[in-house]
A and B are shown apart, each in its own frame.
Chain A
């Protein structure tokens, strides 16, 4: 109605956040999969190119999911090192992106498990709300609070879709969920987020699980 078809594509870093993604993909350059294979055959420059492409998205992936920035950096590094170790076993059957996020997600889960374990048995330090980034808007803070109030799984689906630009099928395989569940959860998460943003001052506490 108001926009042409291109507007159907939702905002995402991969598409419209070129300045954050580091050097943009050079047109005509090799695909991620080719680069990965080249690296597996011993071309270290290929990995540098891959790293340049995915450094920021991967850091963002962890930064949005882990409260401590230092942890996020650590986990991103760990993911890249895991990629390095697994390079010889890489098979270009799946998209490199999917493969990378699968690894990242495993590492994230391991981190969460450890954190939860520590919290259970050692007592977690009360998590401080993340200090607003300099120059951040109120809108952004509100949005983050709203996202934090979503159901954990809904939130994960939403983040994977919005920021990592994974397809429904990729999300489904990553989270080991049926495709339809991914769709319905994503739908639910979006509507819930919309309503949370529309009425931000609803008392927060238990709403996170039963949002919508």
Chain B
């Protein structure tokens, strides 16, 4: 229809009709149009199309449209007069407020997480005011426990031996009484002696009751009680309380077997102390300890060890008698070497038993003589301005460094995530691509036809 060799492109002709050409172009094209019948018919086609299109009229817009819009317009104009920029600013404010709140929430969440996960700084110290006391108290039960059954059996045997030879028993009675007194540990306080005499009196009363006429030694001995007190105290001034505690211990001639202090940053300090106080001074010491602060709880237990102690003392005496008799045999009788060796062996065994029981007795008496106080001191916590808080610049520097660190960690995490999840995501994308493309095509088709 249109020759390619035509001097005027048909699109230019159309552009001329649409008034899209410059004046010069329009002139040349319209000049051509005057001479070329082909172009004139094409122009006619364009005009016909436009004409037929112009028959596509549209009914008048419904009046409702006018009212709604104009009402809105007057309202909007009124508000525009009063504050034309307000919506924008308000929007900004709202955004700022919301964003700020969100940021604050995130910072709080992250901050609290970081602070709670920071390891508590624990300062622990052990203090042994009487280092030699501890090995003793530990060693005694250790020696006592291994073979109580065997010891009992041996003891019964010895008892029968003692009954058979009552003369030896009577003779040695005085000696053993003295020995019992002397064997007691060197007492750090006066009442130790009275316990010792009480113990020896009971030995006498049980073992050789008939042979002694000392009335004083028959007086009922006071019960032997190992006291344990648990005390939890909340104090106002932790340092002062700690000093007071030390002086209380010193004044009552006690010692702390184990002491630990926990000083966490920004938290209450606590002190855990296992005190040993002479029983006679227990009441005074307790009263003083309670005056340190508010007592949260207190428990007192008393374990009666009288029976245990008496038993031990009796066994000890029997063993000593046996040893003495064996020594007598060795001194007075003569016999074969074999027999002598056997007797010596027996002496050594009995001696060992005696020593073990003596240690046990000592430990028991120590428990009775020294009451145990498990003290738990807690500071009444007060939030305070910490003078050791790092300076602002230090904090900023630390924050910056940790920020950089977490940024690096985030980047690394991103890379790791991509490495880890990338292949899976790729697979899913491939799987989902087909349906997605189908849907999109359908969408486009409907869109186009709409």
- Residues of chain B within 8 A (CB-CB) of A69 are 59
* Stretch of B7-15, B329-337, B429-437 at the chain-chain interface: B7-15
How many A-B residue pairs have C-beta atoms within 8 angstroms? Tell me.
Answer: 166
B57 to A, closest residue via Cβ: A20
> Which listed residue, B55, B58, B65, B73, touches A143 by the CB 8 Å rule?
B55
Of residues B47, B57, B85, B443, which shows the largest number of chain A Cβ atoms within 10 Å of its Cβ?
A: B57
Bound together, the chains give a CA A194 to CA B439 distance in angstroms of 35
Interface contact B10-A80, CB-CB below 8 Å: no
Interface contact B446-A119, CB-CB below 8 Å: yes
A59 within 8 A of B: yes
- Residues of chain B within 8 A (CB-CB) of A63 are 58-59
Interface contact A116-B69, CB-CB below 8 Å: no
Interface contact B65-A10, CB-CB below 8 Å: no
The proximity string for B residues 23-59 relative to A, scoring 1 for CB distances below 8 Å and 0 otherwise, is 0000000100110000010000111111111111111
- Residues of chain B within 8 A (CB-CB) of A47 are 70, 73, 77
Bound together, the chains give a CA A162 to CA B48 distance in angstroms of 12
Interface contact B46-A73, CB-CB below 8 Å: no
Binding site for B on A (CB under 8 A): 1, 5, 7-13, 16-17, 20, 39-44, 47-48, 51, 55-56, 59-60, 63-64, 69, 73, 76-77, 80-81, 84-85, 87-88, 112-113, 115-117, 119-120, 124, 133, 137, 139-140, 143-144, 147, 152, 158, 161-163, 167-168, 183-184, 186-187, 190-191, 193-194, 197
Bound together, the chains give a CA A152 to CA B450 distance in angstroms of 9
Bound together, the chains give a CA A131 to CA B15 distance in angstroms of 35
Interface contact B74-A143, CB-CB below 8 Å: no
Interface contact A42-B81, CB-CB below 8 Å: yes
Interface residues on B, range: 35 or more
B16 within 8 A of A: yes
- Residues of chain A within 8 A (CB-CB) of B449 are 152
| Chain B residues numbered 253-271 whose CB sits less than 8 Å from any CB in chain A | none
Bound together, the chains give a CA A10 to CA B53 distance in angstroms of 10
Binding site for A on B (CB under 8 A): 10-11, 14-20, 30, 33-34, 40, 45-62, 64-66, 68-70, 72-74, 76-78, 80-81, 84-85, 88, 439, 442-443, 446-450
Q: Secondary structure of the A side of the interface? A: helix
A158 to B, closest residue via Cβ: B53
Interface contact B61-A55, CB-CB below 8 Å: yes
Interface contact B77-A42, CB-CB below 8 Å: yes
Bound together, the chains give a CA A191 to CA B68 distance in angstroms of 41
Bound together, the chains give a CA A116 to CA B76 distance in angstroms of 33
The 3 closest A-B pairs by CB, nearest first: A44-B77, A59-B61, A42-B81
Interface contact A194-B49, CB-CB below 8 Å: yes
Interface contact B49-A187, CB-CB below 8 Å: no
Q: How far is the CB of B139 from chain A (nearest CB, A)?
A: 86
- Residues of chain A within 8 A (CB-CB) of B74 are 44
Bound together, the chains give a CA A153 to CA B76 distance in angstroms of 36
Bound together, the chains give a CA A77 to CA B67 distance in angstroms of 10
Q: How far is the CB of A150 from chain B (nearest CB, A)?
A: 11
Interface contact B73-A84, CB-CB below 8 Å: yes
> Which listed residue, A40, A113, A184, A191, touches B45 by the CB 8 Å rule?
A191
Bound together, the chains give a CA A17 to CA B55 distance in angstroms of 11
